[in-house]
Amino acid sequence: MLRISQIKISIDDSIEKVKEQVLKKLRLSESELLDYRIYKESIDARHRGRIDFIYTVDVAVKNEAKYLDKSRYKQISLTPDLEYNDPKVGIKLMPLRPVVIGFGPAGMFAALLLAQMGYKPIVLERGQAVDERVKAIDAFWTEGKLNPSSNVQFGEGGAGTFSDGKLTARTRDLRSRKVLDEFVKAGAPEDILYIAHPHVGTDLLRGIVKNIRKKIINLGGEVRFEAQMDKFVIKNKSIQAVKLISGEEIKTNHVILAIGHSARDTFSELHEEGVGMTAKPFAVGVRIEHPQEVINKAQYKEFASNPRLGAAEYRLTYKAENGRGVYTFCMCPGGLVVPAASEEGRLVTNGMSEHARDQINANAGLLVQVFPEDFQSDSPLAGVEFQRQLEAKAYELGGATYRAPAQLVGDFLAGKASTKLGEVIPSYSLGVNLTDLHALFPDWISKPLEEALVGLDHKIHGFAQADAVMTGVESRSSSPIRINRDEESLQSLTTKGLYPSGEGAGFAGGIVSAAIDGLKCAESLISEFARPE
C-alpha cells in the first residue's frame, strides 16, 4: 500500500472528505481506488480562529510504483510493514509450564503471547475477576469497605482497568500495534488504531480484559484469581516453584513477574529472598480538578463546544526553583477522582474516565519528582516507606474514614486552610475534608506545587483558578523500585528463570508500555525454550 501524509480537512468537514482528498492527491477516479484506511489522525489547533484535522492514510491502488515519483506526487511513500512477527521458538525443551504473576497489562500480554504460541501459561492474580472486582470497588467507593486484595490496584486488568484507559505509547516499538490490534479484537473501538491520543475508558476496559482472559483460556492457558504469591522456591539461584499464601506450591522454572507498582508485600519478600532491586525516581502529589468547560475553552477557544473535538486534554511540565520537575499525569477529561487505597489506614487517590468522558470536571495528577537520595537510606524500599507515610498522613488529615484531604488552589497559594468550597465540586465519592495540604507534604514538595500552579496557568488559562480543588494524595503514579534484569535476556540478574516485567518492576509507565514489556519478556522466554510437552 501507499502512505499519504498531510491530508488536511477543516473541523467543519465530515470525515468522508478524507477520501476526496486522497483521490485529488493521486488524481484518481473513485473506481481506481482499491482500498484505503486511516493510519493516523491528529488535531492542528496552532492557528488562531481555525482548527484542522490532519490525516495519514494508507491506500491500495494499481501500479503503485508510478505514485512514488516525488516530482509528481508529494508526501507519498510505501507503507512500512507493521505486521507483528511471532518470535522464533528456541530449541531447549521447557520442562514445566511457565507462570505469569499478575494480570495487569504486562502479565496479560505476556500470557496472551505465550498462549498464542502454545505454552499454556498459568496466570496467578491476587485480586478478583473483573465482575467480582467491580463489586468490591463499589463497596469501597460507597461505604468505605476496603478489600486489601481486590481494589483499584489489584485484580483483573490491573490498575489501568480503573483509569482513563489511555492507550498512548511514546515509543516507535512495533509491538504497540499488536497491543492495539488485540484490544480491538477484544472489543475496543477501531479508532484507537489511528487517533492521536487513543483511550477506551474504564467502562469498555472491563469487557476488554475479560475477553482477553477468555482468549488465553481457550488457547490452553489457565487464569487463577485470588491466588496470591507468597514466596519463590529458589535453589542454586534458580526458580524451582512458586508458593501461594494458600500453601499450594506450583512447580516451574520460569516466572514472568508482572505484579504492578502496589505489590509492596511482594517487593519486601523478594528483597528478603535476595532478588536484586534498586530504588528509582518516582513522583507524588495531588489530583487537581477543574470544570471541563474551563479546559475546553483554554485549549480550543471558540471551538470548545464543537462535538468533533470532545473533552479537551492537557499534558504539562514545569521546572521548579529547587530543580525538581513538576508535571501532570494521567489526565482524565470529563472524569472522576476515585478512592484508590490498597492498604488499611492509608489513603490514595487516582483518576478515572469512562469512554464518553462526559462528567462535569476534568482531573489530573499534579506531581513532583522524588529521588532515592531524598531518603538518606541504602534500602531499595525507602521510597515505598515514604509513600506509606504520606498515605497514612493523608488518611489522618481526611478524618481517618477514607474521606480525602482537599484544598482550594487559591487557599493553597495563600498558605491557609480551606473552609468552604467554591463552584468546583470535588468528585471523590467518599467525600473530602477541607484542610491545608501543606500539612501533608514536606516543603520540598509543597513549594514546587505552588510554583507550578502559577507557572502552568500561563499554559492553560484557568489552571490556577482560585476554586479549583486539589485532593491528596496521588502516590502511585509509578513504582519506587526497579527489579534489576539483564538487558538482553530480561531475566533477573540474581535469580535465573525470573523475568521482572511492567510497571511494578520499573520498566514501564502506562497500559501500552507495560503490555509491550510483557510481550518482550514472553518473547525472550520463547526464543530460548520450546513449549513444554
The partner residues of 56 in beta bridges, in order of sequence, read 40
Q: Virtual CA dihedral for 201, 206, 209, 214, nearest 10 degrees? A: -150
Average pLDDT over residues 270-277: 96
Provide the mean pLDDT of the chain.
95
Give the tens place of pLDDT for each residue, 467-495: 999 999 999 999 999 999 999 999 999 99
Residue 160: how many other CB atoms lie within 10 Å: 25
From 47, 78, 109, the end of a domain falls on 78
Instruction: Give mean pLDDT, residues 186-206.
Output: 93
Distance CA 4, CA 84 (A): 22
- The verdict on 287 and 155 lying in the same domain is no
67 and 181: one domain?
no
Interval 22-58: pLDDT, tens: 999 888 888 889 999 999 999 988 888 899 999 999 9
49 and 173 part of one domain: no
Q: Where is 53: in which H helix or E strand?
A: strand 52-61
End-to-end CA distance of the chain: 41
Residue 533, pLDDT above cutoff 80: no
CB 244 within 8 A of CB 515: no
Percent of the residues in the chain that have a pLDDT greater than 70, as a whole number: 100
**Alpha carbon distance 232, 170 (integer Å):** 34
Note whether residue 87 is domain-resident.
no
Looking at the domain assignment, is residue 219 inside a domain? yes
Shared domain check, 524 and 467: no
3-state per-residue secondary structure call for 319-350 = ECCCCCEEEEEEEECCCEEEECCCCCCCCCEE
**Dihedral (CA of 287, 291, 292, 297) sign:** negative
The alpha-helical segments, DSSP class H, found in 273-407 are 292-300, 382-397
- Please indicate, yes or no, whether residues 456 and 313 belong to a single structural domain of this protein: yes
Q: Decide: helix, strand or coil at residue 286.
A: strand
Q: Judge if 273 and 393 occupy the same domain.
A: no
Phi-psi region of 286 (alpha: psi -120 to 50; beta: other; left: phi over 0): beta
| Sheet with 229-235, side-by-side order of all strands | 229-235, 238-244, 249-251
Residue 85 belongs to a domain = no
pLDDT in tens, 371-407: 999 998 999 999 999 999 999 999 999 999 999 999 9
CATH classification of the domain holding 166:
3.50.50.60
Q: How many CB atoms lie within 10 A of CB 358?
A: 13
pTM as predicted: 0.94
Do 292 and 360 meet the contact criterion of CB atoms below 8 Å apart?
yes
Would you say residue 60 lies in a domain? yes
Of 386, 388, 389, 424, residue with least CA distance to 406: 424
CA distance 215 to 86: 17
Note whether 274 and 160 are same-domain residues: yes
Q: Per the domain annotation, does 169 fall within a domain?
A: yes
- Residue 384 pLDDT: 98
- Residues, the chain, total? 533
pLDDT of res. 133: 97
| Residue 196 confidence (pLDDT) | 84
Instruction: Determine the Cα–Cα distance for residues 78 and 367; give it in Å rounded to an integer.
Output: 42
84 lies in some domain: no
Pick 308 or 171 by higher pLDDT: 308
* 181 belongs to a structural domain: yes
Mean pLDDT of 115-134: 97
- Please tell me whether residues 43 and 144 are part of one structural domain: no
- Identify the pLDDT of residue 390: 98
Each residue's pLDDT tens digit, 50-90? 999 999 999 999 888 888 877 777 888 899 888 899 999 99
Q: For residues 325 and 317, is the Cβ–Cβ distance under 8 A?
A: yes
The C-alpha atoms of residue 87 and residue 84 are separated, in whole angstroms, by: 9
Query: CA 442 to CA 374: how far, in whole Å?
Result: 11
Give the Å distances, CA to CA, from 23 to 11, 12, 61, 73, 195.
20, 20, 11, 12, 22
Once rounded to an integer, what is the mean pLDDT over residues 340-357?
A: 97
Per-residue model confidence (pLDDT) at position 530? 94
C-alpha 34 chain-centroid distance: 37
Whole-number pLDDT of residue 152:
97
Give me the mean pLDDT over the 368-372 stretch. Answer: 98
For the chain, how many structural domains are there in total? 3
Location of C-alpha cell 480551606 = 418
Q: How many helices (H) and strands (E) does the chain have?
A: 11, 25
Alpha-carbon gap, residue 246 to 42, rounded angstroms: 50
| Boundary residue ending a domain (78, 111, 145) | 78
Q: What is the span of the domain harbouring residue 114?
A: 92-278+483-530
Same domain, 437 and 312: yes
Pairwise CA distance, residues 528 & 87, whole Å: 10
Find, among 39, 43, 56, the residue nearest to 11 by Cα.
Answer: 43
Choosing from 78, 112, 127, the residue where a domain stops is 78
pLDDT reported for residue 211: 98
How confident is the model at residue 171, as a pLDDT?
74
Decide if pLDDT at 435 tops 80. Answer: yes
Quick: pLDDT tens for 130-167. Answer: 999 999 999 999 999 999 999 999 999 999 999 988 99
What pLDDT does 169 receive? Answer: 74
**Same domain membership, residue 443 and residue 501:** no
Indicate if 384 and 518 belong to the same structural domain.
no
Residues 151, 261 within the same domain: yes
pLDDT of 327? 98
Determine the residue type at 344. Answer: E
Q: What is the CATH number of the domain that holds 24?
A: 3.30.70.2700
Q: What phi and psi, each to the nearest 5 degrees, are found at residue 140?
A: -70, -45
Supply the pLDDT for residue 67.
Answer: 82
For the ranges 9-23, 126-140, 201-215, 352-366, the lowest mean pLDDT is seen at: 9-23
CB 468 within 8 A of CB 292: no
Share of the chain above pLDDT 90, in %: 87
Within 209-342, strands assigned E span 222-225, 229-235, 238-244, 249-251, 255-257, 277-279, 282-291, 317-319, 325-332, 336-339
Which DSSP symbol is given to 427?
-
- Listed residue (375, 444, 405, 112) closest to 287, CA to CA: 405
Set of cell numbers at residue 379: 534500602
- Classify residue 360: in a domain, yes or no: yes
